[in-house]
Amino acid sequence: MNKQLILNERPKGMPDSNTWKLQESPIPDIKEGELLIQNHYISLDPAMRGWINDSKSYIEPVQLGDVMRAGAIGKVIQSKNSHFKVGQTVTGWSGVQQYTVSNGEGIYSVDDSQLPMQKFLGILGMPGMTAYFGILEVGKIREGDIVVVSGAAGAVGSVVGQIAKIKGCYVVGIAGGKKKCDYIVNELGFDTAIDYKSQNIFEAIKEACPKGLDVYFDNVGGEILEAALSRLKKHARIVICGAISQYNTIDDMKGPRNYMSLLVNRATMQGMVVMDYAEKYPMAMRDMAGWIIQGKLKSNESVYDGIENFQETFKRLFTGEKLGKLLLKVIEK
Amino acid sequence: MNKQLILNERPKGMPDSNTWKLQESPIPDIKEGELLIQNHYISLDPAMRGWINDSKSYIEPVQLGDVMRAGAIGKVIQSKNSHFKVGQTVTGWSGVQQYTVSNGEGIYSVDDSQLPMQKFLGILGMPGMTAYFGILEVGKIREGDIVVVSGAAGAVGSVVGQIAKIKGCYVVGIAGGKKKCDYIVNELGFDTAIDYKSQNIFEAIKEACPKGLDVYFDNVGGEILEAALSRLKKHARIVICGAISQYNTIDDMKGPRNYMSLLVNRATMQGMVVMDYAEKYPMAMRDMAGWIIQGKLKSNESVYDGIENFQETFKRLFTGEKLGKLLLKVIEK
């Protein structure tokens, strides 16, 4: 049987036990041209919160009754498609389910002989690609830049900061709690960390960047975005990658009240969506794999077990109770 | 005697009769290297509201007791500076006063033999330069782009829209009241106008740009910025030139609640300050003068009389009671 997570109801605010429901259905037979994937790990990302709103975005909303959209990694266990062989490791939009039937579209095989499978959903997957193109192509970092990143212990932020260090920047990470702040400084080599839970964010950014900042990579929005806007250097760049502090708000989102700092400082605020860079993923993956092998780029995965624990695990994205990339193991022994 | 307007008190909200005071002092004698300018017209610009706040910006605040900063145009009436001759028309930061003593720094002579002097404070002055560099270098317009501009009957917005028309764009102007809307369509050749005072701005932008917009040039901020953000096409550019709806607010400014449209649409919001383009002014003025002569670029000045009417005239920037460039004539007969 195939356990699948179905979108049951669009949530107001934080998803709850009615948002999704688990269903079991027989594993379908595959037709000519198709393959059957057994999923091992599901990727949990803040962006998924947006996909279950019924509103126009960069991607179609998940429809009620459909399997919840998610990136996943697993193994081909049956194939009637000449491009895929049984035993291959593959990744793609397989959804929150244990088995996926696919015609191969949007499914990519990966070579996981050197690295654990999980890395291909994190540092070598969407979050890693987001970090790479966001900080290099949108942030346009140069050696010596002062770079500030929020969500700094997360799957994207942790990689953003490390790439900026590799490129010779001074890197300030913003994260919640001492454990995460210690991790990004001591383990990942950030220059300094700000604990937004215990520090005044406006004062802390001022202290960390007395001369202002060149690039702010935003994963969180809200007050932290305003604090960063208050410290822009001339011609600064703000990369809008996410706004996790606002995703579960029922009322209107908050806009940055001091956005006119963009004018004062001739600065740029630019949004990005990682899919736009798909053609360049292979180049980025080569760079990233090289840095990983050289020990310059580290990553952490927080892995939880059991498709039935999806909702509880998903919440950890917003409560901050995880370090690095959040994954759900859905394969059963 | 020289009538001068002195900054007396920093206003909260809209400036009032205590904000400035008029003083008379003798016209000083000039020293070696100096020149004496008799100012004819003073430029009134929304940005002046920001200069009297005591806060960090792109330019130093005007200090209490100092002559109010303003661009002006007038004639050299005495000169002990070899670069300037008596009778020359000159423009620069002469301030709100009838006579200015200068060492020549930041004072430029202009050839007003073909065009009235006033044009050099408007379409060929700062507002014109702002429009030119804002729409071309920051907005990066291309033929066929859908361009929306707010404050469209104003000194900057009216030129933005006309340049966009010259470059082959479809141009939507947002202005307050039927008179202004008729003016920008019938006189200036905009494709269509939105009257934000009588129309729902969200619906009106949707109707005017059914496929979305490529460039939004913002002079006003507030709800109109949010309405524009709600209609971005992919890779749209927002030029942040001003936020006149917010300049006199006593409470916090409003930030655009839907700024995440920048992410969804991979769009850019960039601030600009015209002084950054000073080196390129001559090139821009050649272009603009050419378009004026060819009849492709029109402008209007609303001229009021008397330095003692400064405060009352200044208010018209915010109440909308003027068309095109607002000037104050300070020379007395």
Nearest-neighbour CA in chain B from A1: distance (Å): 37
Burial of residue A127 (number of CB atoms within 10 Å: 0-12, 13-18, 19+): buried
Interchain pair A270, B254: CB under 8 A: no
**Cβ neighbours of B264 in A, within 8 Å:** 56-58, 271, 273
The CATH 3.40.50.720 domain(s) of chain B lie at 126-275
Residue of A nearest to B243 (CA): A260
3-class secondary structure per residue, B203-247: HHHHHHCCCCEEEEEECCCHHHHHHHHCCEEEEEEEEECCCHHHC
The confidence band for A136, taking pLDDT boundaries of 50, 70 and 90, is very high
Q: Is the Cβ of B246 closer than 8 Å to some Cβ of chain A?
A: yes
Interchain pair A270, B265: CB under 8 A: no
Residue A152 has a pLDDT of 97
User: In the 8-state DSSP scheme, what is residue A245?
Assistant: G
Residues 108-147 on A with a CB inside 8 Å of B are none
Residue A58 has a pLDDT of 84
Count of A–B CB contacts within 8 Å? 107
Interchain pair B259, A259: CB under 8 A: yes
Q: What average pLDDT does chain B have?
A: 95
Nearest-neighbour CA in chain B from A174: distance (Å): 20
Residue A254 has a pLDDT of 84
Q: What ipTM does this complex have?
A: 0.89
Residue of A nearest to B275 (CA): A266
Residue A16 has pLDDT above 80, yes or no: yes
Nearest-neighbour CA in chain A from B31: distance (Å): 36
Residue A253 has a pLDDT of 80
List % helix, strand, coil for chain B (3-state, nearest 5).
30, 25, 45
**Cβ neighbours of B257 in A, within 8 Å:** 252-255
Residue B288 has a pLDDT of 94
Interchain pair A263, B58: CB under 8 A: yes
The confidence band for A124, taking pLDDT boundaries of 50, 70 and 90, is very high
Residue B114 has a pLDDT of 85
Residue B240 has a pLDDT of 97
Interchain pair A242, B263: CB under 8 A: yes
Q: Is the Cβ of B288 closer than 8 Å to some Cβ of chain A?
A: no
The confidence band for A246, taking pLDDT boundaries of 50, 70 and 90, is confident
Q: Is the Cβ of B240 closer than 8 Å to some Cβ of chain A?
A: yes
List the single residue in B243, B252, B266 with the smallest CB-CB distance to A273: B266
**Cβ neighbours of B269 in A, within 8 Å:** 259, 262, 268-270
Q: Is the Cβ of A256 closer than 8 Å to some Cβ of chain B?
A: yes
Nearest-neighbour CA in chain A from B47: distance (Å): 11
Interchain pair B260, A271: CB under 8 A: yes
Distance (Å, rounded) from C-alpha B303 to C-alpha B322?
9
Nearest-neighbour CA in chain B from A156: distance (Å): 15
Residue A52 has a pLDDT of 96
Residue A252 has a pLDDT of 73
Nearest-neighbour CA in chain B from A171: distance (Å): 23
Q: Is the Cβ of B258 closer than 8 Å to some Cβ of chain A?
A: yes
- Tell me if B266 sits within 8 A of B235, measured CB to CB: yes
A247 or B98: which leads in pLDDT: B98
Q: Is the Cβ of A57 closer than 8 Å to some Cβ of chain B?
A: yes
Q: Is the Cβ of B46 closer than 8 Å to some Cβ of chain A?
A: no
Residue of A nearest to B253 (CA): A257
Residue B251 has pLDDT above 80, yes or no: no
- Tell me if B185 sits within 8 A of B164, measured CB to CB: no
Residue B58 has a pLDDT of 84
pLDDT exceeding 70 applies to what percent of chain A? Answer: 99
Q: Is the Cβ of B254 closer than 8 Å to some Cβ of chain A?
A: yes
Residue B312 has pLDDT above 80, yes or no: yes
Residue B244 has a pLDDT of 86
Distance (Å, rounded) from C-alpha A145 to C-alpha A233?
10
List the single residue in B58, B264, B269 with the smallest CB-CB distance to A58: B264
Q: Is the dihedral of CA A255, A257, A263, A268 positive or negative?
A: negative
**Model's pTM, two decimal places?**
0.91
Residue B303 has pLDDT above 90, yes or no: yes
The CATH 3.90.180.10 domain(s) of chain B lie at 2-122+299-329
Mean pLDDT within A307-314: 96
**Cβ neighbours of A262 in B, within 8 Å:** 240, 269-271
* Assigned CATH for B2-122+299-329: 3.90.180.10
CA nearest neighbour of B201 among B148, B244, B243, B143: B148
Residue A148 has pLDDT above 90, yes or no: yes
Nearest-neighbour CA in chain A from B93: distance (Å): 19
Q: Which of A58-67, B54-63, B100-109 has the lowest mean pLDDT?
A: B54-63
Distance of CA B127 to CAs A114, B133, B174, B210, B297, Å?
Answer: 60, 10, 17, 30, 14
Residue B253 has a pLDDT of 80
Mean pLDDT within B1-11: 97
Residue B57 has a pLDDT of 81
Q: Is the Cβ of B235 closer than 8 Å to some Cβ of chain A?
A: no
- Edge-first strand order for the sheet with B268-271 is A192-195, A170-175, A146-150, A213-218, A232-240, A268-271, B268-271, B232-240, B213-218, B146-150, B170-175, B192-195
Residue B55 has a pLDDT of 83
Residue A245 has a pLDDT of 84
Q: What average pLDDT does chain A have?
A: 95
Rounded to 5°, the CA angle B58-B61-B65 comes to: 160
β partners of residue A194? A174
Q: Is the Cβ of A241 closer than 8 Å to some Cβ of chain B?
A: yes
Residue range B103-132, pLDDT digits in tens: 999 899 998 988 899 999 999 999 999 999
Residue A216 has pLDDT above 90, yes or no: yes
Mean pLDDT within B197-213: 97
CATH architecture, range A126-275 = 3-Layer(aba) Sandwich (3.40)
Q: Is the Cβ of A272 closer than 8 Å to some Cβ of chain B?
A: yes
Domain A2-122+300-329 grouped into CATH 3.90.180.10: yes
List the single residue in A58, A255, A271 with the smallest CB-CB distance to B256: A255
How far does Cα B269 stand from its chain's mean position? 20
The confidence band for A106, taking pLDDT boundaries of 50, 70 and 90, is confident
Q: Is the Cβ of B261 closer than 8 Å to some Cβ of chain A?
A: yes
Residue range A221-245, pLDDT digits in tens: 999 999 999 999 999 999 999 988 8
Residue B225 has pLDDT above 90, yes or no: yes
Residue A114 has a pLDDT of 85
Interchain pair B268, A273: CB under 8 A: no
Residue of B nearest to A57 (CA): B264
Give CA torsion, residues B159, B160, B163, B165, to 10 deg. Answer: -110
Residue of A nearest to B59 (CA): A264
Q: Is the Cβ of A258 closer than 8 Å to some Cβ of chain B?
A: yes
Residue A61 has a pLDDT of 95
Nearest-neighbour CA in chain A from B264: distance (Å): 5
Residue A103 has pLDDT above 90, yes or no: yes
Residue B246 has a pLDDT of 84
Nearest-neighbour CA in chain A from B330: distance (Å): 30
